[in-house]
Copies of this chain bind each other. A is one copy, B any other.
């Protein structure tokens, strides 16, 4: 089975998740700047989640790029990942509307942690199917970012109960880690394509 339809379906779900999150920016009845001021934390949490979904799309893209064949286990590991990501609009909206209160901010981290573990499971499933000399295993290397992220999420969940800004700091930190261009991967990908 080719990975093409898996990719197209995931793209569809990710595009919808990205776009329905904006529906949490509820249109206010008034027409002054003051009326949209309460939306600022909602917008901030939207931007954070937009970047996260963008990162997932990006990494998912790279991962499937080096995966030629899909099997049943991969389809379900992929749906499992999409399940966690589908909860992101909910936690994003809950956190934003409650102005980063402790419990919604922790819930945000729990869903991100679930997504990170689901991603890791999908990765392992693909690598196992590719056997020794797996091109995905080569691509991710030691996978430092992948190992660091869950730890930072757990830290953020704990910190949410001390001060939400601390949790926010760790959420932003994870995003920045992944946004930093990974010269090694780009090189590796261009090698594969040559």
Residues on A lying within 8 angstroms of B by beta carbon are 1, 5, 7-9, 11-20, 22-25, 27-33, 36, 47, 50, 54, 57-58, 61, 65, 71-73, 75-76, 79, 82-83, 86-87, 89-90, 93-94, 97-98, 101-104, 107, 179, 181-182, 186, 189, 193
CB <8 Å contact, A31 and B98 = yes
CB <8 Å contact, B79 and A28 = no
CB <8 Å contact, A47 and B103 = no
CB <8 Å contact, A19 and B22 = no
CB <8 Å contact, A58 and B31 = no
Q: Which B residues lie within 8 Å of A189 (CB)?
A: 1
Q: Beyond the given A25-B90, A33-B103, could you list 6 further A-B residue pairs with CB under 8 A, ordered by the A residue number?
A: A8-B11, A23-B23, A50-B86, A54-B76, A54-B79, A57-B79
CB <8 Å contact, B15 and A13 = yes
Chain A interface mostly = helix
Q: Which residue on chain B has the smallest CB distance to residue A17?
A: B19
* 13 A-B contacts (beta carbon < 8 Å): A1-B189, A5-B7, A9-B11, A9-B14, A12-B15, A16-B20, A19-B86, A22-B89, A25-B90, A27-B97, A29-B97, A54-B75, A58-B72
Min CB distance, A82 to chain B, in Å? 7
What is the CA–CA distance of A104 and B71 in the complex, to the nearest angstrom? 36
Q: Which B residues lie within 8 Å of A50 (CB)?
A: 79, 83, 86
Q: Which residue on chain B has the smallest CB distance to residue A18?
A: B13
CB <8 Å contact, B9 and A86 = no
Our pick among B7, B12, B22 for the contact of A86 (Cβ within 8 Å) is B22
What is the CA–CA distance of A118 and B42 in the complex, to the nearest angstrom? 22
What is the CA–CA distance of A19 and B47 in the complex, to the nearest angstrom? 19
Min CB distance, A60 to chain B, in Å? 10
